[in-house]
Amino acid sequence: MYIKQVIISGFRSYRDQINIDPFSPKHNVVVGRNGSGKSNFFYAIQFALSDEFSHLRPEQRQSLLHEGTGPRVISAFVEVIFDNSDNRIPIEKDEVVLRRVIGSKKDQYFLDKKMVTKTDVMNLLESAGFSTSNPYYIVKQGKINQMATAPDSYRLKLLREVAGTKVYDERKEESSTILKESEGRREKIDDLLKYIEERLDTLQNEKEELAAYQKWDKQRRSLEYTMHDHELRDARKKLDELADHREKSGTNNQKLREKQQNLSEQVQEMDYKSRELNSKMEGFQDEKDQIMTEEQEEVKKKAQLELKIHDMEEELAGDATAKGEAEKELKKVERLIETTKEELDEINPRYTREREEEESKKHELAAAEQKRKELYAKQGRKNQFASREQRDSWIDKELKALNKAISDKKSQIQRLRDDLENSEERAETLRKQMSDLENDITNTKGKTDDDNKKYYELKKEVDDLNNRRNDLWRKENAMQQACSSTQEEMKQREMQLRSLTGKSVLNGIDSMKRILNDFRARNDNGQYTHILEGYHGTLIENMECEKTFYTCVEVTAGSRLFYHIVDTDDISTTLLKEINRQRLPGEVNIMPLNRLEVRDTHYPETNEAVPMFRKITFDKKLKKAMQHVFGKTLICRSMDVATQIARTQNLDCITLEGEQASRRGTLTGGYYDTRKSRLDHQRAISELEIKRETQKSELDKLKNDVRVIEKEVEKILFELQRSETRLNKFRGNYDSKKVDLKLAKEELDEILKARMPKERSLAGHEQSLKSMEETKNSFTEERGSDLLSQLSAEDQQRMDELNDRIHQLSQQQKVIFKNRNKTESQKNMKESLLHHSLMKKRDRLQQELEGIQQQDNTDQLTNYRNEVDRVDERITTHNDRKQDLYKEIKKLQAEKAKLNNEIEQLKNQEQEYQLKIEQDSKDLEKMTNKHSILIKKKDDAIKKIREIGFLPGAEVLAEHKDLPSKQLFKKLQEVQAELKKYSHVNKKAMEQFVNFSEQKEKLMKRRDELDAAHQSIVELMTVLDHRKYEAITLTFKQVCKNFSEIFSKLVPNGTGNLIMRKGDQDQILEDDDSDRAIGQAAAAGATSDSEGSQYDSIPQALQFNGIAIKVSFTGNKADTRDMQQLSGGQKSLVALALIFAIQKCDPAPFYLFDEIDAALDMDHRKAVADMIHELAENAQFITTTFRSELLEHADKFYGVKFRNKVSHIELIEKEQAKEFVEDDSQHD
């Protein structure tokens, strides 16, 4: 084992963390200038390993921290890493790290990064060989000089520390303290023995007077006993009589309480019935109010409907009159239309003929005039043209223009013909469209009527469903109130049950419910199904029994009523873990059925007791839990029976009143208030829960029925909306089609009106075309003919004929025009009458008739009347229901009045019983006071009898047994007069004599024990002295031998010895001398007087007072000198030899030497260096020096530098170390 590495941070001059390179297991040398921090390096290791720096004050701790420039250091640490490959430190590691951290307020040790105490560290170092008795494995600077100049007594003290005599001194000090305490106790015992002897002599003289006194005192005690015994018997007799009276009173009181309890229960039951009646009355009243509200709404609705019917009837009456007048007028107009059409049918053909004849004459006249014009033009050609060629040229131009005009005319005629054909086709299309529109209008009218009828039917159905829904709503509200009432009563019962249960148990039940609800919420994949199915609730929730057994069952179960029952212990573990995980409050006790071990119990065959287990109803799968709680308990008729059975059958017994007799022998009883029965509350809660579930089921059914009706209403409303949409659509289509029909008629009229002008225009164009063609033919015939100045005879004849024909045609045309004009006027007048008056009037009348819609209004009136009938029916139903509710409320009020009367009577009876109970309680209180007085009298008599002390014999007591109280009192006075004569007698002389004798015997025995202990302690102190001086002698011998050997190595020709000083004598102890001295000491201890005062005397041969050193540097005895006669360097060398001798006596795994060669000359430094090199084979050395001799055989070298007031240490080479030393020598 050796120091492998040292890490320093913030310690003294080492501000920054310094990781020193690993040390050699042999010799390591640290060099550096003065003040560079070499000594602080050694202080750091000593700070970590020794206890020198323990119990530091704050200022001392602060002095260990670096105080240079830069940031303030608030903590420092020194870490020493040991190579533990040889397992010298008892830790199974090859490397052990010890760190000490210090700050202004902390001082901590860490071993392998774990915090440990200082004691642990010191014990660990002791076990590794770091002896606290030999602190010289660390030799600080100046320690050599201190050793060299120390007196002989200091060296003896050092030797004693090395020998470990401190343990003997401490044990001897403890023994001396115990010895002094023992001597003090022995002196006290001697004083007490002396006092007791004196008291025994005095008490011996008082014994004779005491005998006479005791004779009369026996008479007194006999008389007093007899008197007190009479008083005691009298008190007991009266107490027995009082107990009988109290028992009868208690039985009567119990009967009164039972009757009062029965009355109280009846009152509670009637209160419950009264609350139910109130709830029903409130429900009926609410229903009645709701019906009245609905009835008012229905009446209001009926009034509105009646107003609508009245208005509708008036409107229908007015519509009927208007319709009749309109129909009459329409018929008249239609007759006129027919007449006018017939007249037009007569006029139109005539007008057409006349028009055609006129057109024909007109065309014929135009043709004749054209021909005449051409002949006139032909007659003037000669004057117009000079030659035929010029004429022909002009004709060609005219023909060309005429051809073009003919072509245009033909195109125009074709366009007119196409237009007429298109108009005819459009007219035919419009006629067909009008026919279709009229059919569609008729169909739309029928569909509208059908949908309107269906709409009112759906509306009627909605009203019926709304009425049914209102009835269901009333029932739902009534059921909701009943549920709320049941829930409120259940809540009150639960609160009463919770008030009878501990808070922690209630919190536990609530926590369990919360956990189960969490499991239900998270049971999506069924992972908690086994837990939910395996949990059965509390014991009280899973059992039922007759009300007679409530008290005894509840007393037997106790707090187990609220134990939770589960199938397996795995379920219970899961539940408890979840409760703990969520940190839920409360006390939870669980009974896993698979862990309950129950056996069938053999019950005695008797009519006086029944097994409690058989009187409880429960689920068969919970049989184990019930047997576990109730299986060992019998219900007995009386406490006497219970006590007897419990003693003989090894079963727990209990009475119906709750008095228990345990099979272990204990009896338990008292009054149990049955009004606070937890089972009763639980039964009520269970019944209310069943009732609530039933009501909830009915409520859910009502809600479901309401939802069904609401869905039907929604469906019908949707149909109504669709029907209304269709009606609106049909009405829109109807109106749209009527508009389309009107537009089609107008368009057809326009087409027909424009047809005749177009035909006339076509006839005119055709006549014009015919004239153009005739002109063309004329030009064609004229072209090429001779140019004549006069017409030919033929042309002249044609001219004459044309003039006659033109005159004739003109006359005819005038006549025809006049006739046609007359016919046209008649025709226009009739057409205007027909189209602008009669047709429009007919359309107006038809629109008025359509606007009247008498049939629709009649249907709506019928619907209104039907709805009024339905409203009347609902009002009648509401009235009937209202009358029924009046009867029900009246009936309930009568029942409630009767019930209140009964409750009042029961309360009066209960009050009477309460008064009787209070009176009985007062009587009981009087008896209790009397009982207390008698008890006090009895206790006083017993106390006085006990105060008498020892009673005289039976013969003496028999003398006074039958005497009356007066004679006893008289004799007692006489005896007391005799006793006054012995008032000065010590009445406790005999007792004191016995007590003192016993005390004397005990004190004598205790003194013998103290003497034996005293002798043992003296012998122990003697042995400790012998062992102490044996250790000193043996250690001195070993150190002396090592000193001589080491000194001879350091000074080859020199000799050195250690001399033990005894008084003024010097003595060099050899082996035989030491053995002889020890033997003499033992003999002196054996012959010492144990009772003398010199218990701690020591043999004179071992009375040492110092160690002297005598050396010779030449080997000549004549040159032997003491330490005071040596030079400074010689003293240092001798001191080093002594330190090496001590270290060789108690070797350490490593040594730290700080400038031990400072005062030595060169030869002695070389000898010391050789010595260290020799010892380094078995131990590690870390030294500092300013000389080069120690560098010769060293293995590693470290240089310490001081820069910016901060020390640094680093590994260097041997040459650098020598340069350090030489540089330092030159500097010095």
pLDDT, one tens digit per residue, over 335-345 is 888 888 888 88
> Minimum mean pLDDT among 270-284, 341-355, 456-470, 775-789: which range?
775-789
Burial of 898 (0-12, 13-18, 19+ CB in 10 A): exposed
Separation CA 535–CA 564 (nearest Å): 8
Please name which of 628, 592, 599, 598 lies closest in space to residue 613, comparing C-alpha atoms: 628
For 1127-1180, the pLDDT digits (tens) are 777 878 888 888 888 777 777 788 888 887 777 778 788 888 888 888 888 888
What's residue 567's pLDDT?
A: 93
Separation CA 327–CA 1079 (nearest Å): 170
The most confident of the ranges 80-89, 254-263, 386-395, 939-948 is 80-89
pLDDT at 145 over 60: yes
Phi, psi of 592 (to 5 degrees): -75, 125
Contacts of residue 295, Cβ cutoff 8 Å, sequence gap at least 6: 875, 878, 879, 882
Task: Give 580's pLDDT tier (boundaries 50, 70, 90).
Answer: very high
Task: Give 982's pLDDT tier (boundaries 50, 70, 90).
Answer: low
DSSP code per residue over 959-986: HHHT--HHHHHHHHHHHHHHHHTTTTS-
CA dist 425 to 418, 422, 751, 752, 962, Å? Answer: 10, 5, 10, 12, 163
What's residue 1076's pLDDT?
A: 47
Would you give the distance in Å from CA 87 to the centre of its chain?
A: 54
Asked if 1096 and 1103 touch (Cβ cutoff 8 Å), the reply is no
What's residue 511's pLDDT?
A: 92
Which regions of 997-1126 does DSSP assign to beta strands (E)? 1055-1062, 1065-1067, 1106-1112, 1121-1122
Percent of the chain whose pLDDT exceeds 90: 7
pLDDT at 77 over 90: yes
Please name which of 1107, 1106, 1110 lies closest in space to residue 1047, comparing C-alpha atoms: 1110
Separation CA 646–CA 664 (nearest Å): 8
What's residue 988's pLDDT?
A: 63
Percent of the chain whose pLDDT exceeds 70: 87
The reply to whether the predicted model has a pTM over 0.75 is: no
Phi, psi of 1115 (to 5 degrees): 90, -5
Please name which of 418, 363, 397, 415 lies closest in space to residue 769, comparing C-alpha atoms: 363
Residue 775 burial (CB count, 10 A): 20
Angle between helices 839-852 and 166-379 (to 10 degrees): 160
Asked if 1157 and 1187 touch (Cβ cutoff 8 Å), the reply is yes
Separation CA 393–CA 388 (nearest Å): 8
Phi, psi of 141 (to 5 degrees): -65, 130
pLDDT at 737 over 70: yes
Asked if 854 and 316 touch (Cβ cutoff 8 Å), the reply is yes
Identify the three-state secondary structure at position 297. helix
What's residue 496's pLDDT?
A: 76
Average pLDDT rounded to a whole number, residues 882-903:
84
Mean pLDDT of the residues in the chain: 79
Separation CA 738–CA 364 (nearest Å): 49
Asked if 200 and 206 touch (Cβ cutoff 8 Å), the reply is no
Would you give the distance in Å from CA 11 to the centre of its chain?
A: 52
Asked if 1044 and 1057 touch (Cβ cutoff 8 Å), the reply is yes
Asked if 116 and 98 touch (Cβ cutoff 8 Å), the reply is no
pLDDT at 149 over 50: yes
Please name which of 889, 895, 890, 884 lies closest in space to residue 285, comparing C-alpha atoms: 889
Please name which of 471, 479, 283, 478 lies closest in space to residue 877, comparing C-alpha atoms: 471
Task: Give 205's pLDDT tier (boundaries 50, 70, 90).
Answer: low
Average pLDDT rounded to a whole number, residues 295-315:
80
Separation CA 1157–CA 158 (nearest Å): 22
Please name which of 1167, 1103, 1106 lies closest in space to residue 1133, comparing C-alpha atoms: 1167
Separation CA 897–CA 891 (nearest Å): 10
Angle between helices 1128-1145 and 152-163 (to 10 degrees): 20
Separation CA 858–CA 868 (nearest Å): 15
Task: Give 1079's pLDDT tier (boundaries 50, 70, 90).
Answer: very low
Asked if 547 and 574 touch (Cβ cutoff 8 Å), the reply is no
pLDDT at 408 over 60: yes
Task: Give 287's pLDDT tier (boundaries 50, 70, 90).
Answer: confident
What size, in residues, is the chain? Answer: 1228
* DSSP secondary structure code for residue 950 in this structure: S
Q: Is the dihedral of CA 774, 776, 777, 781 positive or negative?
A: positive
Average pLDDT rounded to a whole number, residues 332-354:
83
Element (H, E) at 28: strand 27-32
Q: How many helices (H) and strands (E) does the chain have?
A: 25, 26
Angle between helices 166-379 and 965-980 (to 10 degrees): 130
Separation CA 627–CA 406 (nearest Å): 133
Instruction: Pull the structure tokens for residue 163.
Output: 């020998």
Helices (H), 385-526: 388-499, 503-521
Average pLDDT rounded to a whole number, residues 254-273:
76
Burial of 922 (0-12, 13-18, 19+ CB in 10 A): exposed
Contacts of residue 336, Cβ cutoff 8 Å, sequence gap at least 6: 838
pLDDT at 190 over 80: yes
Average pLDDT rounded to a whole number, residues 348-361:
79
Task: Give 896's pLDDT tier (boundaries 50, 70, 90).
Answer: confident
CA dist 729 to 458, 585, 928, 1107, Å? Answer: 18, 70, 101, 139
Residue type, 733: N
Average pLDDT rounded to a whole number, residues 52-70:
79
Average pLDDT rounded to a whole number, residues 208-225:
68
Task: Give 484's pLDDT tier (boundaries 50, 70, 90).
Answer: confident
What's residue 372's pLDDT?
A: 77
Asked if 427 and 748 touch (Cβ cutoff 8 Å), the reply is yes
Burial of 305 (0-12, 13-18, 19+ CB in 10 A): buried
Contacts of residue 899, Cβ cutoff 8 Å, sequence gap at least 6: 270, 273, 274, 277
Task: Give 1066's pLDDT tier (boundaries 50, 70, 90).
Answer: low
Which of residues 416 and 212 earns the better pLDDT score? Answer: 416
Element (H, E) at 892: helix 854-948
Bridge-partner residues for 128, per DSSP?
none
Separation CA 168–CA 148 (nearest Å): 28
Separation CA 476–CA 695 (nearest Å): 10
Separation CA 95–CA 89 (nearest Å): 10
Phi, psi of 523 (to 5 degrees): -90, 45
